[in-house]
Amino acid sequence: MLSTLIRAILAPYSSENSGNPERINITGCDLLISERAITSVALILHELATNATKYGALSAATGVVHVDCALVKDELLVTWKEQGGPSINGDPDREGFGGKLARQIVVHQFGGKIFNEWNPAGLFVHLTLPLKHLQ
Q: Which domains does the chain have, with CATH numbers?
A: 2-133 (3.30.565.10)
pLDDT tens digits for 45-95? Answer: 999 999 999 999 999 888 999 999 999 999 999 999 999 999 888 777 777
Asked if pLDDT for residue 123 goes beyond 60, the answer is yes
CA–CA distance, 102 with 130 (Å, rounded to integer):
16
119 or 13, which is more confident: 119
Spatial contact of 6 and 43, defined as CB atoms under 8 Å apart: no
Which tops the pLDDT comparison, 1 or 124?
124
Instruction: Reply yes or no on whether the pLDDT at 14 is more than 90.
Output: no
User: Do the strands 122-130 and 113-119 form a parallel or antiparallel pair, or are they unpaired?
Assistant: antiparallel
What integer best gives the mean pLDDT of the chain?
Answer: 88
Per-residue confidence (pLDDT) for residue 22, from 0 to 100: 75
Confidence of residue 18 (pLDDT cuts 50, 70, 90): low
Share of the chain above pLDDT 70, in %: 94
Q: What pLDDT, on a 0 to 100 scale, did the predictor assign at position 29?
A: 78
CB atoms within 10 A of CB 123: 22
For residues 59 and 85, the answer to whether their CB atoms sit within 8 Å is yes
